[in-house]
Amino acid sequence: MDTILVVNAGSSSVKFQIFAVDSDGNPRRQIKGQMDGIGSRPRLRATNAKGEVVAERVYPTENVRDVSAALAIAGDWVRDELRVAPIAVGHRVVHGGPAYDRPTLVDPGVVNRLEELISLAPLHQPYNLAPIRSLLAKFPDLPQVACFDTAFHRNHPKVADYFAIPQQLSDEGVRRYGFHGLSYEYIASVLPERAPEIAMGRVVVAHLGSGASMCALSGGRSVESTMGFTALDGLPMGTRPGQLDPGVVLYLLTTKGMSPSEVQNFLYKDCGLKGLSGVSNDMRELLNSSEPGAKFAIDYFVYRAALSAGLLTAAMEGIDAFVFTAGIGENSSAIRMRIAEKLGWLGIDLDSAENAKHAVKISGSGRTPVYVIPTDEELMIAKHTLSILQNTSQPVVVQTRAS
Ligand code: ADP
């Protein structure tokens, strides 16, 4: 049976999944794995479709110094022990810039162009691209598809994508892009089956995980997002601040004398729930903590999520449904309830029992239905990869959006 390998590579871990292509041409998940502790305590862990552990092993640090080495070890395990030879690899790539508005078959030229976007996503893009480059060198004939977190947002109205800065900078690509697009695309793709009555309506989707953002879906398409030029904007996250007056960055650079790279590390790694609480970046730990900082970080997260729901509703001039997804959105009935309590004015309220059960539909008697829909970015990548393979007889065209 044909298989697709899906790779989501970060700075200290490589997550991978294997999908078998069934007789109807649909991808079915077989294996979920992760190489983590890259450069510190490398470890491979994988489970099968039933959730049973099929690999759990550690490696000497010197054998797994970087993301490419981690993927090579995972690849050897897949080939030698599972005896699986994927027909293609789909990669999550955080930034596609202004040009890439859809998944794209990669070649060295595409990788070069994507490397030019590293400064827009310094803590994600290089790690996403390293395994693509090393696989291109080792297996030049293996089709690889880059799937972008920005692509689903590429058709926003112009007013949603621009900053109030001189046009020349916007033309250079200093614009709002939006991220978590693979997650929102997945949600949009399952709404017609899970909630047909609202699928083509105005839906606010809250992707609340370690990274968090919200998206306005209208007629199944993204029209606005809380994230902007980089994945720092919008909602507070595990370690990122979300919306921040740019004057704060100037203050850090001038009054505090921080270097640009110190500011970068600070904004990506020391802010958000972690910085605010002084306790943890992890919502579960905050919910279990009695520290005042933990309580305040949760209050702040809930407040900003509710504010953003209002903002996205204004973008669509109304709301027909609300969807929670990702780690916090799918699993924390307490956070869902706290956010919903601030959104009564939008016709949102929750049925406590359905919310506690993490049911698909958790709304009470309010006019706006509320859903919990687990996201599946990897399945989206597998589907895109398959669809590009099926169309490789046609040239893959990169659409450039007029500015
Ligand atoms: P990412 O994919 O961005 O790393 P996830 O979508 O896995 O993140 O979400 C991770 C977040 O979800 C963490 O803050 C974690 O604490 C939170 N989370 C997971 N399960 C629960 C739960 N039962 N209650 C509250 N928060 C949870």
Question: pLDDT tens, 268-310?
Answer: 999 999 999 999 999 999 999 999 999 999 999 999 999 999 9
Ligand 1 close to Cβ of residue 211 (< 6 A): yes
Look over the chain and give the mean of its residue pLDDT values, rounded to a whole number: 93
Ligand 1 close to Cβ of residue 264 (< 6 A): no
pTM of model > 0.75: yes
Of 200, 202, 205, give the one whose Cα is nearest residue 215: 205
User: Can you give the pLDDT at residue 256?
Assistant: 98
Question: pLDDT tens, 201-216?
Answer: 999 999 999 999 999 9
42, 59 contact by CB (below 8 A): yes
- In angstroms, what is the span from residue 211 Cα to ligand 1's centroid? 9
Ligand 1 close to Cβ of residue 282 (< 6 A): yes
149 among known catalytic residues = yes
Ligand 1 close to Cβ of residue 182 (< 6 A): no
Does position 253 have pLDDT exceeding 70, yes or no? yes
Atom of ligand 1 nearest to the CA of 211: 3
Ligand 1 close to Cβ of residue 277 (< 6 A): no
User: Can you give the pLDDT at residue 293?
Assistant: 97
Atom of ligand 1 nearest to the CA of 212: 3
pLDDT band at 395 (very low <50, low <70, confident <90, very high): very low
Residue with the smallest CA separation from ligand 1 atom 4 is 210
Question: pLDDT tens, 184-194?
Answer: 999 999 999 99
User: Can you give the pLDDT at residue 402?
Assistant: 33
- In angstroms, what is the span from residue 283 Cα to ligand 1's centroid? 6
B/e letters for 241-278, b = 16+ CB within 10 Å, e = fewer, are bbeeeeeebeebeeeeebeeeebbebbbeebbbbbbbe
Please pick, among 101, 149, 161, 233, the residue that the annotation labels catalytic: 149
44, 57 contact by CB (below 8 A): yes
User: Can you give the pLDDT at residue 337?
Assistant: 98
| 3-class secondary structure per residue, the chain | CCEEEEEEECCCEEEEEEEEECCCCCEEEEEEEEEECCCCCCEEEEEECCCCEEEEEECCHHHCCCHHHHHHHHHHHHHHHCCCCCCEEEEEECCCCCCCCCCEECCHHHHHHHHCCHHHCCCCHHHHHHHHHHHHHHCCCCCEEEEECCHHHCCCCHHHHCCCCCHHHHHHCCCCCCCCHHHHHHHHHHHHHHCCCCCCCEEEEEEECCCEEEEEEECCEEEEECCCCCCCCCCCCCCCCCCCCHHHHHHHHCCCCCCHHHHHHHHHHHCHHHHHHCCCCCHHHHHHCCCHHHHHHHHHHHHHHHHHHHHHHHHHCCCCEEEEEHHHHHHCHHHHHHHHHCCHHHCCCECHHHHHCCCCECECCCCCCEEECCCCHHHHHHHHHHHHHHCCCCCCCCCCCCC
Of 368, 363, 364, give the one whose Cα is nearest residue 347: 368
